[in-house]
Amino acid sequence: MNINYNNIYAVVISGLLLLTVATHSALAQEKTTARIISTDAGVTDVLIALGMTKQIVGVDVTSQLPAESKIPRLGYHRTLSTEGLLSLNPSLIIGSTHMGPPETIAALKTYPLTLMQLDIASNEAMLAENIKRISALADKQQEAKPLLQHIDSRMLVIKQQQLPSNTRVAFLLHMEGRGLRLAGKGTTGNDIIALLGGENAATHNSYRSVSAEALLSLEPEVIIIAGQKGEKSVAGLMQSNPMLRYTPAGKQKKIIAVESHLLVAGISLKAIDAVAELSSQLYPVATP
Protein backbone atom coordinates (compact mmCIF):
# COMPACT_ATOMS: atom_id res chain seq x y z
CA MET A 1 0.00 0.00 0.00
CA ASN A 2 2.60 2.61 -0.95
CA ILE A 3 0.04 5.02 -2.34
CA ASN A 4 0.57 8.63 -1.42
CA TYR A 5 -2.83 9.64 -0.06
CA ASN A 6 -2.06 13.33 -0.08
CA ASN A 7 -1.34 13.13 -3.78
CA ILE A 8 -4.57 11.33 -4.45
CA TYR A 9 -6.59 13.80 -2.48
CA ALA A 10 -4.87 16.83 -3.97
CA VAL A 11 -5.77 15.52 -7.39
CA VAL A 12 -9.30 14.58 -6.35
CA ILE A 13 -9.92 18.01 -4.87
CA SER A 14 -8.62 19.80 -7.94
CA GLY A 15 -10.71 17.40 -10.00
CA LEU A 16 -13.75 18.41 -7.97
CA LEU A 17 -13.07 22.07 -8.66
CA LEU A 18 -12.81 21.38 -12.38
CA LEU A 19 -15.98 19.36 -12.20
CA THR A 20 -18.05 22.09 -10.58
CA VAL A 21 -17.06 24.34 -13.46
CA ALA A 22 -18.01 21.61 -15.90
CA THR A 23 -21.38 20.93 -14.27
CA HIS A 24 -22.92 24.16 -15.45
CA SER A 25 -22.92 22.99 -19.03
CA ALA A 26 -24.14 19.56 -18.03
CA LEU A 27 -27.03 21.05 -16.05
CA ALA A 28 -28.47 22.66 -19.16
CA GLN A 29 -30.22 19.38 -19.97
CA GLU A 30 -33.80 19.09 -21.10
CA LYS A 31 -36.01 19.00 -18.04
CA THR A 32 -38.60 16.85 -19.76
CA THR A 33 -36.36 13.79 -19.66
CA ALA A 34 -35.36 14.29 -16.03
CA ARG A 35 -34.40 11.11 -14.19
CA ILE A 36 -35.74 11.66 -10.69
CA ILE A 37 -34.89 9.98 -7.40
CA SER A 38 -37.28 10.64 -4.54
CA THR A 39 -36.13 9.81 -1.03
CA ASP A 40 -39.28 10.93 0.74
CA ALA A 41 -42.70 9.26 0.73
CA GLY A 42 -44.49 12.62 0.52
CA VAL A 43 -42.39 13.74 -2.45
CA THR A 44 -43.08 10.43 -4.21
CA ASP A 45 -46.83 10.96 -3.69
CA VAL A 46 -46.59 14.43 -5.23
CA LEU A 47 -44.55 13.20 -8.22
CA ILE A 48 -47.09 10.45 -8.89
CA ALA A 49 -49.96 12.93 -8.53
CA LEU A 50 -48.23 15.21 -11.03
CA GLY A 51 -48.18 12.33 -13.51
CA MET A 52 -44.40 11.91 -13.41
CA THR A 53 -44.26 8.24 -12.38
CA LYS A 54 -42.36 7.33 -15.57
CA GLN A 55 -39.52 9.70 -14.69
CA ILE A 56 -38.93 8.24 -11.20
CA VAL A 57 -35.83 6.04 -11.31
CA GLY A 58 -35.46 5.30 -7.59
CA VAL A 59 -37.27 5.77 -4.26
CA ASP A 60 -36.60 5.30 -0.56
CA VAL A 61 -38.02 2.39 1.40
CA THR A 62 -41.03 4.30 2.80
CA SER A 63 -42.37 5.52 -0.55
CA GLN A 64 -45.66 4.00 -1.69
CA LEU A 65 -45.63 2.97 -5.33
CA PRO A 66 -48.27 1.44 -7.58
CA ALA A 67 -48.18 -2.34 -7.07
CA GLU A 68 -46.87 -3.16 -10.56
CA SER A 69 -43.97 -0.73 -10.28
CA LYS A 70 -40.43 -2.09 -10.55
CA ILE A 71 -38.65 1.08 -9.43
CA PRO A 72 -35.52 0.17 -7.39
CA ARG A 73 -35.47 0.91 -3.66
CA LEU A 74 -32.56 2.85 -2.21
CA GLY A 75 -33.06 1.87 1.41
CA TYR A 76 -33.61 4.14 4.34
CA HIS A 77 -33.51 7.85 3.56
CA ARG A 78 -31.04 8.60 6.36
CA THR A 79 -28.52 5.98 5.25
CA LEU A 80 -28.33 6.56 1.53
CA SER A 81 -25.32 5.25 -0.32
CA THR A 82 -23.75 7.81 -2.66
CA GLU A 83 -22.78 5.24 -5.24
CA GLY A 84 -26.18 3.58 -4.98
CA LEU A 85 -27.88 6.87 -5.83
CA LEU A 86 -25.45 7.70 -8.64
CA SER A 87 -25.76 4.22 -10.14
CA LEU A 88 -29.31 5.13 -11.20
CA ASN A 89 -27.90 8.09 -13.15
CA PRO A 90 -30.34 10.67 -11.73
CA SER A 91 -30.53 14.25 -12.97
CA LEU A 92 -32.67 15.31 -10.05
CA ILE A 93 -32.78 14.08 -6.44
CA ILE A 94 -35.61 15.32 -4.24
CA GLY A 95 -35.84 14.48 -0.56
CA SER A 96 -36.50 15.96 2.83
CA THR A 97 -34.11 17.85 5.06
CA HIS A 98 -33.69 14.54 6.93
CA MET A 99 -31.80 13.00 4.02
CA GLY A 100 -28.51 11.56 5.10
CA PRO A 101 -25.87 10.71 6.06
CA PRO A 102 -24.23 14.18 5.78
CA GLU A 103 -21.24 12.69 3.92
CA THR A 104 -23.55 11.43 1.18
CA ILE A 105 -25.28 14.80 0.86
CA ALA A 106 -21.93 16.59 0.69
CA ALA A 107 -20.70 14.17 -2.00
CA LEU A 108 -23.88 14.50 -4.07
CA LYS A 109 -23.41 18.25 -4.26
CA THR A 110 -20.20 17.70 -6.22
CA TYR A 111 -21.90 15.77 -9.04
CA PRO A 112 -23.68 17.13 -12.11
CA LEU A 113 -27.22 16.80 -10.77
CA THR A 114 -29.80 18.91 -8.97
CA LEU A 115 -30.39 18.12 -5.31
CA MET A 116 -33.51 19.55 -3.69
CA GLN A 117 -34.18 19.16 0.03
CA LEU A 118 -37.63 20.17 1.21
CA ASP A 119 -38.78 20.77 4.77
CA ILE A 120 -41.13 18.08 6.02
CA ALA A 121 -44.54 19.77 5.96
CA SER A 122 -46.27 20.18 9.30
CA ASN A 123 -49.31 21.99 7.90
CA GLU A 124 -51.21 22.48 4.63
CA ALA A 125 -49.38 25.71 3.75
CA MET A 126 -45.97 24.00 3.85
CA LEU A 127 -47.34 21.11 1.80
CA ALA A 128 -48.65 23.53 -0.84
CA GLU A 129 -45.28 25.30 -0.86
CA ASN A 130 -43.45 22.00 -1.41
CA ILE A 131 -45.79 21.07 -4.26
CA LYS A 132 -45.15 24.47 -5.87
CA ARG A 133 -41.39 24.02 -5.59
CA ILE A 134 -41.45 20.50 -7.05
CA SER A 135 -43.75 21.49 -9.90
CA ALA A 136 -41.68 24.59 -10.70
CA LEU A 137 -38.53 22.49 -10.89
CA ALA A 138 -40.19 19.89 -13.11
CA ASP A 139 -42.08 22.48 -15.18
CA LYS A 140 -45.44 21.01 -14.17
CA GLN A 141 -47.21 24.12 -12.85
CA GLN A 142 -50.39 23.25 -14.76
CA GLU A 143 -50.56 19.75 -13.30
CA ALA A 144 -50.00 21.18 -9.81
CA LYS A 145 -53.15 23.33 -9.88
CA PRO A 146 -55.66 20.53 -9.26
CA LEU A 147 -53.49 19.24 -6.42
CA LEU A 148 -53.46 22.63 -4.73
CA GLN A 149 -57.21 22.92 -5.26
CA HIS A 150 -57.66 19.48 -3.74
CA ILE A 151 -55.75 20.55 -0.63
CA ASP A 152 -57.93 23.68 -0.37
CA SER A 153 -61.12 21.67 -0.66
CA ARG A 154 -59.96 19.15 1.97
CA MET A 155 -58.95 22.00 4.28
CA LEU A 156 -62.40 23.49 3.84
CA VAL A 157 -63.94 20.24 5.08
CA ILE A 158 -61.49 20.12 8.00
CA LYS A 159 -62.12 23.74 8.96
CA GLN A 160 -65.88 23.15 8.98
CA GLN A 161 -65.55 20.15 11.26
CA GLN A 162 -63.15 21.43 13.89
CA LEU A 163 -63.13 19.87 17.34
CA PRO A 164 -64.52 22.05 20.13
CA SER A 165 -61.66 24.26 21.34
CA ASN A 166 -59.39 22.79 24.05
CA THR A 167 -60.43 19.21 23.24
CA ARG A 168 -57.70 16.99 24.72
CA VAL A 169 -56.52 14.54 22.06
CA ALA A 170 -54.10 11.65 22.52
CA PHE A 171 -52.40 10.37 19.38
CA LEU A 172 -51.06 6.83 19.76
CA LEU A 173 -48.80 4.64 17.67
CA HIS A 174 -49.96 1.09 18.19
CA MET A 175 -47.35 -1.52 17.33
CA GLU A 176 -48.55 -5.09 17.64
CA GLY A 177 -46.96 -6.56 20.76
CA ARG A 178 -44.73 -3.53 21.29
CA GLY A 179 -47.01 -1.45 23.48
CA LEU A 180 -48.19 2.08 22.89
CA ARG A 181 -46.23 5.15 21.93
CA LEU A 182 -47.75 8.55 22.55
CA ALA A 183 -47.08 11.34 20.06
CA GLY A 184 -45.69 14.47 21.71
CA LYS A 185 -44.66 17.84 20.33
CA GLY A 186 -42.84 17.95 17.02
CA THR A 187 -44.46 14.82 15.61
CA THR A 188 -46.83 14.28 12.70
CA GLY A 189 -49.40 13.14 15.26
CA ASN A 190 -49.15 16.55 16.90
CA ASP A 191 -49.62 18.26 13.52
CA ILE A 192 -52.73 16.17 12.86
CA ILE A 193 -54.19 17.14 16.25
CA ALA A 194 -53.53 20.79 15.42
CA LEU A 195 -55.26 20.47 12.03
CA LEU A 196 -58.30 18.93 13.74
CA GLY A 197 -58.42 21.93 16.08
CA GLY A 198 -57.73 19.90 19.21
CA GLU A 199 -55.06 20.14 21.84
CA ASN A 200 -52.38 17.49 22.33
CA ALA A 201 -52.88 15.81 25.71
CA ALA A 202 -49.15 15.00 25.75
CA THR A 203 -46.60 17.66 26.68
CA HIS A 204 -43.30 15.82 25.98
CA ASN A 205 -41.30 15.89 22.75
CA SER A 206 -41.35 13.18 20.04
CA TYR A 207 -42.82 9.70 20.65
CA ARG A 208 -42.68 8.11 24.07
CA SER A 209 -43.88 4.80 25.47
CA VAL A 210 -46.91 5.10 27.72
CA SER A 211 -48.89 2.77 29.93
CA ALA A 212 -52.67 2.54 30.00
CA GLU A 213 -52.52 4.07 33.46
CA ALA A 214 -50.66 7.14 32.22
CA LEU A 215 -53.18 7.47 29.41
CA LEU A 216 -56.04 7.36 31.90
CA SER A 217 -54.46 10.15 33.92
CA LEU A 218 -54.19 12.35 30.81
CA GLU A 219 -57.98 12.13 30.44
CA PRO A 220 -58.06 12.42 26.64
CA GLU A 221 -61.44 13.28 25.17
CA VAL A 222 -60.38 11.86 21.79
CA ILE A 223 -57.91 9.05 21.08
CA ILE A 224 -56.49 8.57 17.59
CA ILE A 225 -54.58 5.34 16.98
CA ALA A 226 -52.17 4.93 14.14
CA GLY A 227 -51.94 1.23 13.43
CA GLN A 228 -51.18 -1.05 10.54
CA LYS A 229 -54.66 -2.52 10.27
CA GLY A 230 -57.00 0.46 10.22
CA GLU A 231 -60.17 -0.35 12.10
CA LYS A 232 -58.71 -3.45 13.73
CA SER A 233 -56.28 -1.27 15.65
CA VAL A 234 -59.10 0.10 17.78
CA ALA A 235 -60.32 -3.40 18.63
CA GLY A 236 -56.76 -4.52 19.35
CA LEU A 237 -56.09 -1.52 21.54
CA MET A 238 -59.27 -1.98 23.55
CA GLN A 239 -58.55 -5.69 23.93
CA SER A 240 -55.05 -5.19 25.30
CA ASN A 241 -55.95 -2.08 27.32
CA PRO A 242 -59.55 -2.52 28.52
CA MET A 243 -58.98 0.33 30.99
CA LEU A 244 -59.20 2.79 28.11
CA ARG A 245 -62.98 2.40 28.20
CA TYR A 246 -62.88 4.60 31.29
CA THR A 247 -61.21 7.55 29.59
CA PRO A 248 -63.55 10.35 28.48
CA ALA A 249 -62.75 9.30 24.89
CA GLY A 250 -63.76 5.70 25.65
CA LYS A 251 -67.02 6.74 27.30
CA GLN A 252 -67.96 8.95 24.34
CA LYS A 253 -66.82 6.37 21.76
CA LYS A 254 -64.28 8.83 20.40
CA ILE A 255 -61.51 6.32 19.77
CA ILE A 256 -60.68 6.12 16.07
CA ALA A 257 -57.98 4.64 13.88
CA VAL A 258 -55.77 5.91 11.08
CA GLU A 259 -53.27 4.06 8.87
CA SER A 260 -49.77 4.48 10.33
CA HIS A 261 -48.00 4.58 6.96
CA LEU A 262 -49.62 7.96 6.37
CA LEU A 263 -47.38 9.42 9.04
CA VAL A 264 -43.96 8.73 7.56
CA ALA A 265 -43.72 11.95 5.58
CA GLY A 266 -45.37 14.61 7.72
CA ILE A 267 -48.51 16.32 6.43
CA SER A 268 -48.52 14.83 2.94
CA LEU A 269 -51.30 14.63 0.36
CA LYS A 270 -52.37 11.30 1.84
CA ALA A 271 -52.22 12.68 5.38
CA ILE A 272 -54.49 15.62 4.44
CA ASP A 273 -57.06 13.14 3.06
CA ALA A 274 -56.78 11.09 6.24
CA VAL A 275 -57.24 14.17 8.46
CA ALA A 276 -60.35 15.17 6.50
CA GLU A 277 -61.67 11.65 7.03
CA LEU A 278 -60.89 11.81 10.76
CA SER A 279 -62.62 15.17 11.12
CA SER A 280 -65.75 13.74 9.54
CA GLN A 281 -65.69 10.79 11.93
CA LEU A 282 -65.23 12.99 14.97
CA TYR A 283 -67.65 15.73 14.04
CA PRO A 284 -70.72 15.40 16.20
CA VAL A 285 -73.74 14.72 14.02
CA ALA A 286 -76.68 16.63 15.45
CA THR A 287 -79.22 14.13 16.73
CA PRO A 288 -82.77 15.23 15.90
Partner 1 sequence: MQRLSLSLFLPLCVFLTAVAIVLSLTRGAMSLSATDSLLSVWDVVWGTAYSNLMEYQQLVVLDLRLPRTILALLVGAILAQCGAVMQGLFRNPLADPGIIGASSGAALAASIAIIFLPAWLAGVGIPIAAFLGALLTTLLVFKLAQGDNGTSVIMLLLAGVAVAAFGGAVMGFLNVIASDQALRDITLWQMGSVASASTESLVLCLLVLLMNSWYYQRHAQALNALLLGEAEARHLGIDIERLKIKLIAVTTMGVGVTVAVAGIIGFIGLVIPHLIRLLTGPDHRSLLPLSALLGALLLLLADIGARLMMAPSELPVGLLTAVIGAPFFALLLIKQRKAFL
Stretch that binds partner 1, among 83-91, 121-129, 167-175, 249-257 (CB under 8 A): 83-91
Contacts of partner 1 in 97-156 (CB under 8 A): 98, 101-104, 107, 110-112
Phi-psi label, residue 163: left if phi above 0, alpha if psi -120 to 50, beta otherwise: beta
Angle between helices 41-49 and 269-282 in degrees, nearest 10: 90
Applying CB under 8 A, the span of 82-90, 218-226, 237-245, 266-274 interacting with partner 1 comes to 82-90
Residue of the chain from 17, 27, 75, 280 that contacts partner 1 (CB under 8 A): 75
d(CA 228, CA 11): 52
Among 153, 160, 205, 228, binds partner 1 (CB under 8 A): 205
Nearer to partner 1, 119 or 219 (CB): 119
Alpha helices, H only, 161-211: 188-196
String of DSSP letters for 14-29: HHHHHHHHHHHHHH--
Smallest gap, in angstroms, from Cβ of residue 144 to partner 1?
A: 29
- Convert residues 258-287 into a mask of x (bound to partner 1 by CB under 8 A) and - (unbound): ------------------------------
In whole angstroms, how far apart are CA 121 and each of 186, 214, 282, 286? Answer: 11, 30, 24, 34
Stretch that binds partner 1, among 28-36, 138-146, 205-213, 232-240 (CB under 8 A): 205-213
Beta bridge partners of 173: 181, 226
| Distance of alpha carbon 85 from alpha carbon 90, whole angstroms | 7
Among residues 62, 64, 82, 162, which is the contact residue for partner 1, using CB under 8 A? 82
> In sequence order, which residues have a C-beta less than 8 Å from that of residue 165 and are 6 or more positions away?
197
Residues that bind partner 1 (CB under 8 A): 1, 3-9, 11-12, 15-16, 18-19, 22, 58, 61, 72-76, 78-88, 98, 101-104, 107, 110-112, 186-187, 205-209
